[in-house]
Structure 1
């Protein structure tokens, strides 16, 4: 049977970022150092394949610290945690390792510095997302106000419009954030912002690659988890860039082939917590059905690496 031709635009960069890579490495090194089980508060990164793989190796995933025994190590996820969590772990004399992405930690430090200078913080983020919860939890309740849309800015009640600063969840859409920042500056001209937006380099790079593919692909698939903020943003970015059909899939088995009938060009990318093995699986699924020509679309090169915490580099 003759397979129909398909041009597959493969985004680069895609998949794992340095923060995700480091977080997974932290769990693996903790298991090597202390043996199983090692407890992880919240999914280490938002990807079921990664979480299941670590679970098989001996990681136990919990949502709260009170689900962990005192005598086993606990790791905090890449998204970051409120200050109260490590404080409680220290009080219980637990061994704990913080796998918070260094770019998220930078936002925490920034928020703390602004608060020390007497400023109230406005956080641009998604309510309930662990990164937002972690960042807002760096300061006492009420010191950080959350906005999700430009419309939220209009109803914001602040202590003093002259004493404000804003920080941003690292995995948002670059374009959405620009609109919210503009609304904040418009309503509060004295508001202080970061020298460079808090959106992380990997989020920006993956969105730029999708913007380059969007106008020339009839469809685009994002490999990633439904609870992954940066993956969901990639779907939105593709649609905004003019791609007629954009879909989030966790695995090749989730591809809706009927929706792709007649398509002759497709883009493929992956969120920052999706491993390359899942992208390969998707490519193989297309090769089984089409005569595929892969065209890489490279918009940036990444050489970022983050060190794991010293406690894991020291002998047991």
Structure 2
């Protein structure tokens, strides 16, 4: 009788500790990524994610990602599965390639200026990231995330509307999606770069040159406030990578006064269009920026984003 009770207890314990099917599916997805095998990654992307993330052509162009995937680690914290839905809480860590983006970009940019082809520039980028992934002190990003899973046609897939799906995708591609968002590569203070009027100011993803500065004390653009003047700056902007989205928010280019007050433009006029097929030549556009500034107070043109001053151009006044 005692043996029967023990056996029943073990059976109950085994049934209670059974791994949820959604967890098995999630672990299968992660195993495919961690394999670093292009076919496995493409297959799981097409079949187990709500929308395919990694195409075969994408991985062919950027094969360093396969080595990156091999270094991803995760740990399941909690799984809540009910009927055809499931919530999985887990920790994940992966190489933070975004931290190394500035140094890689500089080498790719140098190759571009040397007259190399786009194919060779891409090869340079791949080689640089492959070398970075060999580092013993490689920088990682670590997070706890929550993803939802859905059971469709008898198969568990990751729900693309999960609360942390954007963060999850960002981590598994090494945070390189943030390059397109113009974010700094780390949380440290950004060092402002200083240039003079007429000097080509190269930042990580763009270049700009202040061509001229003019002043008007009449109502050339709109009614002028008393004690103010119009400051008109002609700017040449260069799109030196295909990843830049043409156009710039008004808040980026501001006049810094002698009292250290920042003033946004009241008008922006564009002349020309970006040529997204050319690296780097051809990706140019001229802008005329119009500001209303207290007389004699203009000092610098600065590039500011969310309180971070990336560059300052001495207007020579």
More strand by share: 2
State the TM-score, normalized to the length of structure 1. 0.26
- Structure having greater relative contact order (Cα 8 Å, sep ≥ 6): 1
State which structure, 1 or 2, has the greater radius of gyration over its C-alpha atoms: 2
